[in-house]
């Protein structure tokens, strides 16, 4: 662009004075701003479960399954902090394996956990995969899924159930909570002995399929750390020094809670046909059955 004469008086955005004032932020005021407009969240740290693993890089456990983890992770309670959840969205995408829920929100949090007061405890350290619950509030949401009746075993769903609203099997029979079944402390459905249940399908030899609508406690996972290390300069005691600020994170509503058993039942030992473990079997050369199975139900997977 060629030179043009200026019009009117010209104002400089940054003054030419050599004594330009420095800006010093107050991190504790930022913590007060967040905690004064937020809710209490319970933070659980996530880490890969090493239980029953023989090699650091293996995906299978040679001597049984992890009975205390959730989706291959262990969760340890770290503390409670007051954070704000902003811009909660509801979005679902189709994938090769089905439909995946990508509901996300922005998490604004202080630097410290709550101890005796707001943001006066130890430092908060987040990582991707950590789990968050709202403290002292049961945030019930609805889930619907299809499951198999498991004779003599508890029925486990994608999320720990708080209560079951409706349960109808493939024959159109509806079953009532409290009479036909109950929900135990782990959120699994336990069928009451001597009462009607879906039973076994004679054509497949497996438990009948049924649809269940139930409620569970909503929670979030840390999906992304937008700003893991945020550093600013402040003036304290007549000197400028760097101060680390709080995290900035994106959290995601749960789309899977557990994909393995948790309570030590027979299904963890691979005895359950509806939730099998991976089993490597060598073919018997003397067998006369040379059928090649192509149905997914004939294969076992972890």
Q: Considering 196, 217, 238, which residue would you say is the last residue of a domain?
A: 217
Whether residue 132 sits in one domain with residue 173: no
Give the chain's mean pLDDT.
78
Q: Quick check: is 43 in a domain?
A: yes
> How does pLDDT run across 224-234, given as a tens digit for each residue?
998 888 888 88
- Predicted local distance difference test score (pLDDT) of residue 265: 40
Whether residue 212 sits in one domain with residue 81: no
Whether residue 99 sits in one domain with residue 41: yes
Q: Quick check: is 291 in a domain?
A: no
Whether residue 83 sits in one domain with residue 41: yes
Whether residue 149 sits in one domain with residue 199: yes
> How does pLDDT run across 219-266, given as a tens digit for each residue?
899 999 988 888 888 888 888 888 999 998 999 888 665 554 444 443
Terminal C-alpha separation, the chain: 66
Whether residue 177 sits in one domain with residue 117: no
Whether residue 253 sits in one domain with residue 110: yes
pLDDT at 176 over 80: yes
What is the b/e burial string over 178-197, where b = at least 16 CB atoms within 10 angstroms of the residue's CB?
eebbebeeebbbebeeeeeb
Q: Quick check: is 260 in a domain?
A: yes
Q: Is the pTM of this model over 0.85?
A: no
Give burial (CB, 10 Å; 0-12/13-18/19+) of 227. Answer: exposed
Whether residue 29 sits in one domain with residue 101: yes
Whether residue 209 sits in one domain with residue 169: yes
pLDDT at 68 over 60: no
Whether residue 160 sits in one domain with residue 150: yes
pLDDT at 62 over 70: no
List Cβ neighbours of 259 (8 Å cut-off, separation of 6 or more): 71, 72
The parent domain of residue 228 ranges over 18-138+218-267
Q: Quick check: is 144 in a domain?
A: yes
Q: Quick check: is 302 in a domain?
A: no
Whether residue 134 sits in one domain with residue 45: yes
Task: Yes or no: say if 112 and 124 are a contact pair by the CB < 8 Å rule.
Answer: yes
Q: Quick check: is 198 in a domain?
A: yes
Q: Quick check: is 286 in a domain?
A: no
How many structural domains compose the chain?
Answer: 2
**CA neighbor of 143 nearest in space, from 258, 254, 274:** 254
> How does pLDDT run across 95-122, given as a tens digit for each residue?
554 555 557 889 999 999 999 999 999 9
């Amino acid at each position: 662009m060629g030179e043009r004469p200026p019009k009117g008086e010209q104002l400089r955005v940054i003054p030419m004075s050599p004594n330009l004032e420095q800006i010093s932020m107050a991190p504790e005021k930022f913590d007060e701003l967040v905690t004064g407009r937020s809710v209490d969240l319970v933070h659980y740290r996530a880490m890969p479960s090493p239980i029953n693993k023989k090699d650091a890089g293996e995906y299978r456990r040679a001597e049984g399954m992890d009975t205390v983890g959730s989706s291959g992770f262990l969760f340890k309670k770290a503390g409670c902090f007051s954070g704000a959840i902003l811009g909660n969205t509801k979005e679902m995408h189709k994938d090769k394996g089905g439909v995946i829920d990508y509901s996300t929100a922005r998490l604004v949090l202080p630097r410290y956990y709550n101890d005796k007061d707001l943001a006066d405890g130890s430092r908060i350290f987040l990582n991707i995969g950590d789990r968050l619950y709202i403290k002292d509030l049961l945030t019930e949401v609805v889930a619907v899924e299809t499951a198999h009746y498991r004779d003599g075993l508890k029925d486990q769903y994608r999320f720990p159930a708080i209560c079951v609203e409706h349960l109808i099997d493939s024959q159109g029979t509806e079953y009532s909570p409290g009479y036909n079944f109950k929900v135990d402390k782990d959120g699994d459905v336990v069928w009451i002995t001597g009462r009607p249940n879906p039973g076994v399908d004679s054509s497949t030899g497996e438990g009948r399929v049924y649809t269940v609508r139930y409620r569970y406690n909503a929670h979030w996972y840390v999906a992304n750390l937008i700003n893991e290390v945020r550093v600013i300069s402040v003036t304290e005691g007549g000197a400028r020094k760097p101060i680390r600020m709080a995290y900035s994170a994106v959290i995601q509503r749960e789309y899977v809670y557990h994909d393995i058993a948790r309570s030590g039942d027979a299904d963890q030992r691979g005895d359950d046909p509806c939730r099998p473990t991976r089993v490597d079997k060598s073919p018997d050369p003397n067998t006369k059955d040379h059928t090649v199975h192509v149905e997914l139900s004939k294969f076992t997977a972890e």
